[in-house]
Structure 1
Amino acid sequence: MKKPPLAILITSILLSQVAIAEEKNNSFERFSILGNKQELSKSAGSVTFISETELEKFEYDDIARILATIPGVNVRQEDGYGLRPNIGFRGVTPERSKKINIMEDGVLISPAPYSAPAAYYFPMTSRMTAVEVTKGPSTIKYGPNTVAGAINLVTRQVPVGREAGLDVSLGSDGYGKAHGYFGDNIDDFGYLVEGIHLRADGFKELDGGGNTGFDKSDVMAKFNYQLDGDDYQQVLELKLSHASETSDETYLGLTDDDFDKNPYRRYAASQLDVMEWEHQQVQFSHHIEFENFNATTKVYRNDFERAWFKLNGFGSSQGGSIPTLQQILTNPTDEQNQVYYQVLTGQADSTLREIIVLGTNDREYYSQGLQIDMTWDMSLFGFSHQLASGIRYHEDEIERNHIEDNFLMRSGLLQSTGEATVATATNTEQTEAISVYLQDTLTLDDLTVTAGLRGELIDSYFKNRSPQREQDFQYKTTRLWLPSISAYYGINDNSGVFGGVHQGFVPTSPIQSVDIKIEKSINYELGWRYEANGNKAEVVGFFSDYSNLKESCSISAGCDTDVEFNAGAVDIYGIEASFSDNFEINKQYSVPLAIVYTHTQSSFKETFYSDFEQWGFVTAGDSLPYLAKNMLSISLGLTAENWQVAMLVNYTDEMPEVAQTALTGDIRDSTLAGLHTESTLVVDMSASYELNHNSQFYMKLDNLLDSTDIVSRRPFGARPSKPRQVSIGYKYRF
């Protein structure tokens, strides 16, 4: 089923030479989804742009901490370092960021965005120079997921002249960062080479000792060539990158009692857990721009290989009922669970009835395609039009080769039973998709109206490659068109109102039964925006009316296999508000301030029972799990000519672990019945001092108050937020 990448690459490159493509060498726009030319203050939708200056203020490596400053973003923490983030917009499930479009330089970057969208790979945030988030009707330009929104991560551009930079940092828990880049432009040829390495020993304390940290590396090279003519600007660019990670991470958490005693403890049964992955990317781009027309062609190929060796649960050679890890950790004093808990923690040796099962989820992905995006500014019938259109042919695939091995606990150490390795999942999912969009932005005086249409034409395939199961094959097809319309009206030069409606869609994966329906919704937003002299304010109300909400449950959510469930009609609605200004105390000092608030509510519209444990018995009116009602972010700083100090305060409400009755707070029957994540209040601080124009010292404190909260009990037990982390660094640029 896997097609050789060379054939599509050669074909695409030939097509790209006759297609009209992207902008000049020193432009940011060909990798942006918002674009420098677009007046964001008059955008008919919710868009946010975080610049390199803002990213450097707190020197975050964790994308979740960055997105906390954007309204409407809901995040579930997991490992504390953001290695595998869980991001949602406007109430969609944050689980593995699978319902938002994640892009790098305008290209889908998830391992298999259609076939297996769970983001086990996420680009290293530390090397990005901008982060763009779009929600609402403008999402119709980006697919396949159009319910919630899109995030685009912009990498460093090839410079117009010689540029170089070095960033080194050391911190607590063995944290270290080494980041450097060098680029130049010689006549019409430009290049950039960039590399970064991150590491930490980890903040968790493994029973019996051992590392709980990670090592990550990322290397990128870009080469471009300018081919300007008298009437146009044109550039060709090749981007190559390689990234890898080894992290001693686990899905195993703690009982609530053990969490209270030491939230950073890790049980002995997780001592062998380790994730290893590699990611490669090749991207060829061509851009050309005339006076009122520009177009970009991108040919891309991403390969991702990962193997996560980790605790799956218990087995037995003697038969009988075996509790799940979640059941053991939720009720460890139960007569049946107690012996399993003692083995799990290394307090007792296991017998043949308490065999510890470790699995290796070995997966290979590829994602490749050709996309062309064009814009055309024109006047017609007295109106100013900006036409935007695009087409993309995309293929992706996931190949699973999952296995399990049996171990016994002996004096706090895991020892193999010597039994043969067992294959647990051997299958392939593949998708071929053609997507198109057309969007017209019409301007007349103070009114701007944008109408768009997106088409998704999807063919998906599933094949079971297990012995004796080769006949298990499934083919599905999806054809649909998704409309959107939005408008902005300028009340005066500084403020305006905007609103819109668009159709949301999330496809089903190839392995799922035809009984699982695609996710569909009608999404509305209405807002007001003000901007003048650096002062910005915005209030947006949103409402998502789902005709069918679907959810997938994988091992990261506590399920043995990847399976999806229908929930029927659901409503999600809320308010996003933001305010920012820079108050000048005098000519030397200023105080930047930013406040972001999000309120979100949800409601199942139907009464039903689901095998998905996070839902269980649902009564109409119940709210969704893992959705905080209130989130607040306050950023405050003090800046002078050559130094600055900044503080960021983030508050998130507690979240129910399962569907919750909104009025009474009663929890339905579940292993996690009655349990919530804890509300969190996290304060981060940073400071920097410029020695001269080229060099800078900085210091940062993540979690200044050293607060410790339960951020999740998924998939197995209570898991903590990251403790206080102190680091100091030095930057040099020329």
Structure 2
Amino acid sequence: MNKQTLSLLTAALVFNINCANADDASSIEHISIIGNQQQLDTAAGSVTLIDEAELEKLEYDDIGRVLATVPGVNIRQEDGYGLRPNIGFRGVTPERSKKINIMEDGVLIGPAPYSAPAAYYFPMLSRMTAIEVTKGPSMIKYGPNTVAGALNLITRQVPTEQALGLDVAAGTDGYYKGHVYYGNASDRLGFLVEGLTVASDGFKELENGADTGFDKQDYMAKVRYDLSSEKFDQFLEVKAGLGEEQSDETYVGLTDEDFRSNPYQRYAGSQLDNMDWQHDQLQLTHYIAGSTFDLTTRVYRNNFERTWYKLNGFASSLGGQIPTLLELLTHPEDEQHQRYYEVLRGTADSTVREKLVLGNNDREFFSQGVALDGKVDVELFGFNHQLSAGIRWHEDEIQRNHTENTYLMQSGMLVQTDENTVATTTNTERTEATSLYISDTITFDKLTLGAGVRGELIKGFYQNRTPGFEQDFQDKTTRIWLPGINAYYAVDNNNGVFGGVHQGFVPTSPIQAASVEVEKSVNYELGWRYVERWQRMELVGFFNDYSNLIESCSQSAGCDTDLTFVAGHVDVYGLEGSYQHNLFLDNGWQIPLSVTYTHTQSEFKDSFYSGFEQWGYVEAGNAVPYLADNMLSVSAGVKASLFDITLIVSYADSMPESAQTMLTGNSGDSALAGKETDALLNMDVSAGYNLSDNSRIYLKVDNLLDEQDIVSRRPYGARPSKARQFQLGYKYNF
């Protein structure tokens, strides 16, 4: 962060604090991007709020299982636990959630959101008290990615009085969870400390009996000082966090035949695969609000380090053509693949022809910045205006220090050779971005109109640090303005219609050539909403018109090296529906019901060939891969004074693994051509019993029917959904 930015930050904080006296305490928190319930009901766009009570229904640790209940969300499962989620909204690629904005308390939380947006880090869900999903024209406030939507995770706020919480649970596959928080406040000063650990031995099986699970810890502390007075609500807060993970996860899946035999087996070649990361964050927030305005200033710094040791493929001392892991596991019947397949499984020993290559993808990230967001209500020319504006100075960076070692398979165990460690990728990408937005919302009786624009000035820097290749560097600048308009009309006290259009944008990373155009689209939506006290319905149609769809492919997508591919004109359109109702019975019981449905269609408008495995030979009219035509989620339950039961059933159609619909016999065929995932049917159930006003026990079962489905064949081979898991827990809150 440069001196000019720090000076501007200091001036902003001094100005804000001097705006109010410190007389009375206030407990205002300003970490939501949606706002209160009334704003949610009259929003001129598609928004979803999942509160703490809803999150506690099934005690999920996996964000993918929660978002399966939100319309318009497309997810590609991978490891079963949601360690590194693949989330998309309205048809954008879900790969590592790189095309949506992921925020924690309103701040971008990805390791390097501009330079390397693939989210290999994701905050632990169990410590969140609310989740907000925003789609549509209001996206111009939340960059840099404005095509799809924003996901904001809200952490526990500092309490105004003593608060204590405890949640412990144990389950099958060695699962356990420990979660505790304590907070208190005295006069104007309040604090909160929170710790969470979640672990499992894993539901997959290695022949040597090693774990295939994970162990994660997350710690957070907040201190808030209340500066409120009679005229202003105001506080200053510091948040610090620390997280770490050890997981024995792998990119290596199975052949379809082996999946049918035992979907939870792991090949011996993946026995050393391990992810080890550490994340820390520091955030300073100042908030001030008067009768007609509010202003939030945030200063943030996130650091993330990881070593991702994993099987990359095969090498040979004799040269010759060697199959990739994707080719090997997708087409194991090929005669030239048999020997490699046996070595991978550990049923045959290696020769110099079949050395296994394990890579250590060692990376260091940081992101930091200063953001100011404000609103003011004014009356001009006889109309009520709500003016919103914000500016953010942001910088992030990724340093890659990748290496590889070779191993031999000996009696089912990997034995390292005496060959030297080889450096494979040594580079740095860094971005400096200044973004701003301004919008105006005008109310005319029952009609609310909004218009705004977002601007992004992005300076990207790439440097190859490999000795002898230092001349390989690039710096480039992207400038863009992204307009949006929307409207909401209150037909009556319960019904409203809304619609809008906005410019979609996804920036390129610093390493991508300056000649590669950014991803752009024009996005439309039109919806209807019905709201009453215990019932809510919404129906939204959307259309995303891409003028230039681009994809970057890394090893997580099944590519051996990072590459960029351009598809040009693509259309994605669909329908989102949701219905919630809470029925009250005479005996005091409640029956909550929720139904969400998403229908999505997509088509490439041009015919072309791409080396990207997800595309291959594309004919105009082919569908975009990893988009289910239909997704349905139904949640129903019974709630009484002493107990509650909830059942969630979710369904998703099968999805194409590639845009190429069938094999043509050409050497450039996609290995995934013509293949589809299984249609996914999942049922989760939970039950709780209140021992007292402050404590309860709960029992939950994930994947009650023990469905064993192929959720993806990426990165390398067929991957299963999570096996059935039982969990028993105890929760105390004071």
Aligned to 1:295: 295
**How far apart are residue 166 of structure 1 and its match?**
0.4
Distance (Å, rounded) in 2 between the aligned partners of 1:534 and 1:429: 50
Aligned to 1:552: 552
> Structure 1 residues 405 and 677 mapped into 2: Cα distance closer, same or farther (>3 Å)?
same
Secondary structure, in 3 states, of the residue corresponding to 2:223? Answer: strand
Distance (Å, rounded) in 1 between the aligned partners of 2:550 and 2:221: 39
Matches within 5 A, 1:241-640: 241-640=241-640
**How far apart are residue 487 of structure 1 and its match?**
0.3
> Structure 1 residues 272 and 632 mapped into 2: Cα distance closer, same or farther (>3 Å)?
same
Secondary structure, in 3 states, of the residue corresponding to 2:30? Answer: helix
The aligned amino acid for 1:432 is: E
Aligned to 1:144: 144
Aligned partners of 1:21 and 1:287 also within 8 Å: no
> Structure 1 residues 250 and 154 mapped into 2: Cα distance closer, same or farther (>3 Å)?
same
Matches within 5 A, 1:142-221: 142-221=142-221
Between 1:243-252 and 1:585-594, the stretch displaced more is 585-594
Matches within 5 A, 1:82-101: 82-101=82-101
Structure 2 unpaired stretches of 5+: none
Distance (Å, rounded) in 1 between the aligned partners of 2:688 and 2:167: 13
Secondary structure, in 3 states, of the residue corresponding to 1:627? Answer: coil
Secondary structure, in 3 states, of the residue corresponding to 2:319? Answer: coil
The aligned amino acid for 2:204 is: K
1:12 to 9, 14, 31: 9
The aligned amino acid for 1:137 is: P
Deviation sequence 1:558-597 (CA, Å, 0-9, x none): 1122222111000000000011101122232121111000
Aligned partners of 1:29 and 1:35 also within 8 Å: no
The aligned amino acid for 1:462 is: Y
> Structure 1 residues 176 and 18 mapped into 2: Cα distance closer, same or farther (>3 Å)?
same
Deviation sequence 1:231-263 (CA, Å, 0-9, x none): 112111000000000000100000000000000
Distance (Å, rounded) in 1 between the aligned partners of 2:95 and 2:200: 24
Matches within 5 A, 1:641-720: 641-660=641-660, 669-720=669-720
> Structure 1 residues 595 and 622 mapped into 2: Cα distance closer, same or farther (>3 Å)?
same
Aligned to 2:35: 35
Aligned partners of 1:22 and 1:295 also within 8 Å: no
The aligned amino acid for 2:414 is: L
Distance (Å, rounded) in 1 between the aligned partners of 2:683 and 2:26: 37
**How far apart are residue 354 of structure 1 and its match?**
0.3
Aligned partners of 2:534 and 2:583 also within 8 Å: no
Secondary structure, in 3 states, of the residue corresponding to 2:120? Answer: coil
Aligned partners of 1:190 and 1:224 also within 8 Å: yes
**How far apart are residue 229 of structure 1 and its match?**
2.6
> Structure 1 residues 422 and 222 mapped into 2: Cα distance closer, same or farther (>3 Å)?
same
Between 1:208-217 and 1:582-591, the stretch displaced more is 582-591
The aligned amino acid for 1:328 is: L
Distance (Å, rounded) in 2 between the aligned partners of 1:444 and 1:84: 45
Distance (Å, rounded) in 1 between the aligned partners of 2:14 and 2:277: 34
Distance (Å, rounded) in 2 between the aligned partners of 1:37 and 1:172: 39
> Structure 1 residues 262 and 655 mapped into 2: Cα distance closer, same or farther (>3 Å)?
same
**How far apart are residue 513 of structure 1 and its match?**
1.2
Distance (Å, rounded) in 2 between the aligned partners of 1:567 and 1:626: 16
Aligned to 1:237: 237
Aligned partners of 2:28 and 2:234 also within 8 Å: no
Aligned to 1:135: 135
The aligned amino acid for 2:125 is: T
Distance (Å, rounded) in 2 between the aligned partners of 1:540 and 1:427: 44
> Structure 1 residues 380 and 37 mapped into 2: Cα distance closer, same or farther (>3 Å)?
farther
Structure 1 unpaired stretches of 5+: none
The aligned amino acid for 2:9 is: S
Deviation sequence 1:9-49 (CA, Å, 0-9, x none): 68634542224799998656511101127521111000000
**How far apart are residue 517 of structure 1 and its match?**
1.3
Distance (Å, rounded) in 1 between the aligned partners of 2:456 and 2:88: 22
Distance (Å, rounded) in 1 between the aligned partners of 2:29 and 2:703: 35
**How far apart are residue 382 of structure 1 and its match?**
1.5
Deviation sequence 1:451-489 (CA, Å, 0-9, x none): 111000100000000000111110110001000000000
Taking every aligned residue pair, what percent have the same amino acid on both sides? 62
Deviation sequence 1:665-714 (CA, Å, 0-9, x none): xxx93211221000000000011111111101111110000001000000
Secondary structure, in 3 states, of the residue corresponding to 1:265? Answer: coil
Superposed CA RMSD: 1.9
Distance (Å, rounded) in 1 between the aligned partners of 2:535 and 2:594: 10
Aligned partners of 1:285 and 1:298 also within 8 Å: yes
Deviation sequence 1:416-468 (CA, Å, 0-9, x none): 11110000000000000000000111111100011111000100000000000
> Structure 1 residues 14 and 415 mapped into 2: Cα distance closer, same or farther (>3 Å)?
farther
**How far apart are residue 228 of structure 1 and its match?**
1.8
The aligned amino acid for 2:14 is: Q
Aligned partners of 1:28 and 1:36 also within 8 Å: no
Aligned partners of 1:25 and 1:160 also within 8 Å: no
Aligned partners of 2:167 and 2:729 also within 8 Å: yes
Distance (Å, rounded) in 2 between the aligned partners of 1:628 and 1:636: 23
Secondary structure, in 3 states, of the residue corresponding to 1:310? Answer: strand
**How far apart are residue 533 of structure 1 and its match?**
2.5
Secondary structure, in 3 states, of the residue corresponding to 1:427? Answer: strand
Distance (Å, rounded) in 1 between the aligned partners of 2:65 and 2:339: 39
Distance (Å, rounded) in 2 between the aligned partners of 1:499 and 1:47: 13
The aligned amino acid for 1:570 is: V
**How far apart are residue 332 of structure 1 and its match?**
1.7
> Structure 1 residues 42 and 727 mapped into 2: Cα distance closer, same or farther (>3 Å)?
same
**How far apart are residue 80 of structure 1 and its match?**
0.2
Distance (Å, rounded) in 2 between the aligned partners of 1:550 and 1:21: 47
Q: Determine if the alignment matches structure 1 residue 72 to structure 2 residue 76.
A: no
Aligned partners of 1:530 and 1:537 also within 8 Å: yes
TM-score by length of 1: 0.97
Distance (Å, rounded) in 2 between the aligned partners of 1:113 and 1:22: 33
**How far apart are residue 514 of structure 1 and its match?**
2.1
Aligned to 1:729: 729
Aligned partners of 1:313 and 1:356 also within 8 Å: yes
Aligned to 1:51: 51
Aligned partners of 1:25 and 1:158 also within 8 Å: no
Distance (Å, rounded) in 2 between the aligned partners of 1:10 and 1:619: 55
Distance (Å, rounded) in 1 between the aligned partners of 2:685 and 2:29: 32
Distance (Å, rounded) in 2 between the aligned partners of 1:677 and 1:597: 20
State how many pairs are aligned. 729
The aligned amino acid for 2:404 is: E
Distance (Å, rounded) in 2 between the aligned partners of 1:590 and 1:290: 39
Distance (Å, rounded) in 2 between the aligned partners of 1:297 and 1:256: 52
Between 1:720-729 and 1:322-331, the stretch displaced more is 322-331
Aligned partners of 2:25 and 2:228 also within 8 Å: no
Secondary structure, in 3 states, of the residue corresponding to 2:568? Answer: coil
The aligned amino acid for 1:410 is: Q
Secondary structure, in 3 states, of the residue corresponding to 1:79? Answer: coil
